[in-house]
Structure 1
Amino acid sequence: MTSQTLLYLRQPWLPGDRAEQQIRSIAFDVPRSAAALEVELAYAAGPGAVLDLGLEGPSGYVGWSGGARSRLIVSADWATPGYLPQPVEPGTWQVLVGLHRVPPAGVIMELTVRTVAAGEVERHRAAEPEDPPSVPRPDRRPRRDLPSGDGYQWLAGDFHSHTVHSDGVLSVGGLAALAASRGLDFLAVTDHNTTSHHAHLPEAGRRHGIVLVPGQEVTRDVGHANVLGDVGLVDFRSPPETWAQQAESRGGVLSINHPLAADCAWLLPVDHPPVAEVWHSSWAQLPTWGAPLAWWLLTPDTVPIGGSDVHQPGHDGLPGSPTTWVLAEGDDVVGAVRAGRTAVSASVDGPLVIRDGDEIVALDAEGLLLTGPGRPRRRVLGDRVRVPAWSGPCWLEDDSRIVHALCG
């Protein structure tokens, strides 16, 4: 089959267009003869211009790559990561264009949709990064001597990461191998506005000896939130006030992401959020910044978790920086978060503070200060110190007021 152009559109976008409606749908019709589609979006990119790309078919949402890709392929056997493989159904499809940033002078978009042959699909498939070979991983448990009850164990992990299924650079297997090599027991893979990576998680987790938690980062310009659990897609175009209910009604958990983070900050109402990414890897850039702790203390019943938000190793946080600890029944990581059994530390082997019944336990925290809102600072003397618990947050800080660990 030769290529057939189904749509060509040259469209200028101005700031007023973005203000009126950020996500635009552009329709095109697909004939019965099509076996694979290619969508290409071109524009003069720059600091003031970012256009996002997504796709919807006659039967519903296909996927999203945001500003990470300018081209996508969809076919029955394979699709560009971020999109769900599926037969190319005849009928009306929609290219989703996100006007993420539009400079004052505007930006001119060129959008092309064409049918392509199987050879072009295979060429794109071969260009994607391959998974690394699996390396036998010894059983490291118990990693640290942490108190736990019958059937429960403390697991170390990370609740925020990205692969090639959105704007990361590693395959699912590559990310799993990296996280396992850093001593993590679990990793939530939370690609933006897609669940296309979910199908790859079980096998990659088995191969590399790590629990990979299905996740998705529901992403809008007014805030990002991770949905944790295999709950199907929570559409980013739905009203943000419904995201938590959608997740919870399907057995998942919603967490507000990096509530204080440049143009990715949470700009939506906060009505007592149940879970929040209190500790984001960006905190390491200014470790004395007290705002993340202060934000958490405004809603002290919020369950705290942490996330590296890893995209490209060497350019942002690595898996486990910070590390979130969950007291899980078996490998039920999402259930532990829902129950509020969490703690966060700067690293997998750094100082840690957890709750054990009616006591707070500080581990490997010699010389640090244990405190909480309105509490005196108590110097930790020893590698394993127990004190009577109080209700509400607690954390370990040093004499420079840098937080090393926290728990709710």
Structure 2
Amino acid sequence: MKWLPFELHTHTPHSDGTHTLLEMCTKARELGLSGIALTDHNTTSGMADAAAVTAETGVAVIPGLEWTTFYGHMLTLGVPYSEWRDLGPTDIHKGIDRVHRQGGIVGIAHPFSLGSPICTGCHWEYAVQDWSRIDYMEVWHETLPPMRNHNAPAFDMWTRLLNEGYRISGTAGRDWHRSSDEDDPPAFTFLGLVREAGLPGTEDVVDAIRSGRICVSMGPLLELQMTCGEGSYGIGDVVDAENAGADASCELTVRVTPAAHPGRRLGTDEQGRVIIVETDAGEMLRLPVKEEADEIRCSFGAKGLKWMRIRLSGMLNGALATIAFTNPVYFK
């Protein structure tokens, strides 16, 4: 598995951003990003420059769109323009089906941001009849997302939906409109790509998000490897717990890898970091991270569980916060 950092929510002057796609990808390369998703508001016209920009910067550009409506903002990835203007507050699924039929995915953007009159339609108000049709949620939004008040209810909502049995991926989105040297650091969405060689393509990114092979982080990469019975599993995988023995005993290894790029070491303190093993039954274990790069092993019983994820807690800009989290491993 090859883990690459992406930014999945961006804007250019084709909607309301101030930097061109070339300027943004140049900055993305400086930050250590491998790729971005271009999600201008209600248009895909900015993709006309994508191939040339990627050739110049080496940063992959994934086609996307942000449906910007009175009832909420929804991100689409991996497809060309998909019609949204006929959608009302009770029929969002009609638009979702159009994206899915083309092989794309949909995600709810900043569901608990302030709405009108502060930001028209930014607060999610669509009635979702079937949450299994939602591929991902932006649970961390803007720069320095652990410190943003509107992200706490988004993370809680994601957790509640996981507890109800839905397999929805959690991502971060800077909502990148402009760049400044005074910007707070953004989080990265690390995607686990099966294809290890070459520049990541649209299908690689869509598959990783759809499959939940994701670690969201302010810096370090979290990876996990788990064995249950005869099977071996990683982030996003589904464990057949019934075949793991009577007690469904699992061996878990968590690897903490420091950020490879100097720009990802902003405002963090390696002292006092703790790995937290979380499940639908609540917090299971807390394990100290002894070094900047560490590998932690433990055992637990998976019987009766629906999911398990890893969260890294520590000091960020002088406050105790979540620094990184994985998407779940699911139990069948």
CA-to-aligned-CA distance 1:276-303 (integer Å, 9 cap, x gap): 1111125638357632321221112321
Find the counterpart in structure 2 of residue 261 from structure 1. 113
Task: Specify which of 162, 177, 193 is matched with residue 328 of structure 1.
Answer: 193
The 3-state SS of whatever aligns with 1:178 is helix
After superposing the two structures, state which structure 1 stretch, 197-206 or 226-235, moved more.
Answer: 226-235
Aligned runs of 1:3-402 on 2, under 5 Å?
148=1, 153-238=2-87, 239-263=91-115, 264-270=122-128, 271-272=130-131, 273-281=134-142, 284=145, 286=147, 290-300=152-162, 301-314=167-180, 321-330=186-195, 331=200, 332-346=204-218, 350-356=219-225, 357=233, 359=252, 360-364=254-258, 367-371=272-276, 372-373=278-279, 374-375=282-283, 376-382=285-291, 383-388=293-298, 391-398=307-314, 401-402=320-321
The 3-state SS of whatever aligns with 1:214 is strand
After superposing the two structures, state which structure 1 stretch, 368-377 or 307-316, moved more.
Answer: 307-316
Structure possessing the higher relative contact order (Cα contacts under 8 Å, 6 or more residues apart) = 2
Find the counterpart in structure 2 of residue 30 from structure 1. none
For the 8 Å contact 1:258–1:277, the answer to whether it is kept is yes
Q: Which runs of 5+ in 1 are unaligned?
A: 1-147
After superposing the two structures, state which structure 1 stretch, 308-317 or 176-185, moved more.
Answer: 308-317
The 3-state SS of whatever aligns with 1:159 is strand
After superposing the two structures, state which structure 1 stretch, 307-316 or 258-267, moved more.
Answer: 307-316
CA-to-aligned-CA distance 1:173-206 (integer Å, 9 cap, x gap): 1111111121100100100001111221111111
Find the counterpart in structure 2 of residue 111 from structure 1. none
TM-score, with length taken from structure 1: 0.57
| Rounded Cα–Cα distance in structure 2 between residues aligned with 1:156 and 1:234 | 29
Letter in structure 2 aligned against 1:266: W
The 3-state SS of whatever aligns with 2:189 is strand
For the 8 Å contact 2:14–2:46, the answer to whether it is kept is yes
| Rounded Cα–Cα distance in structure 2 between residues aligned with 1:250 and 1:188 | 17
Q: Decide which structure has the larger Cα Rg and report it.
A: 1
| Rounded Cα–Cα distance in structure 2 between residues aligned with 1:401 and 1:305 | 21
Distance 1:160 1:209, change over 3 A: same
The 3-state SS of whatever aligns with 1:248 is helix
For the 8 Å contact 1:162–1:311, the answer to whether it is kept is yes
TM-score, with length taken from structure 2: 0.69
Count matched residues.
Answer: 253
For the 8 Å contact 2:67–2:75, the answer to whether it is kept is yes
Distance 1:217 1:315, change over 3 A: farther
Distance 1:317 1:191, change over 3 A: farther
Q: Which runs of 5+ in 2 are unaligned?
A: 116-121, 226-232, 235-251, 259-269, 328-332
The 3-state SS of whatever aligns with 1:192 is coil
Q: Tell me how far 1:309 sits from its aligned partner.
A: 0.5
The 3-state SS of whatever aligns with 2:256 is strand
For the 8 Å contact 1:362–1:384, the answer to whether it is kept is yes
Runs of 4+ in 1 over 4 A off after TM superposition: 315-318
The 3-state SS of whatever aligns with 2:10 is coil
CA RMSD across the alignment: 2.5
Q: Tell me how far 1:341 sits from its aligned partner.
A: 0.8
| Rounded Cα–Cα distance in structure 1 between residues aligned with 2:168 and 2:57 | 32
Letter in structure 2 aligned against 1:241: H
CA-to-aligned-CA distance 1:191-244 (integer Å, 9 cap, x gap): 000111122111111111110011100111211111011333332433422232
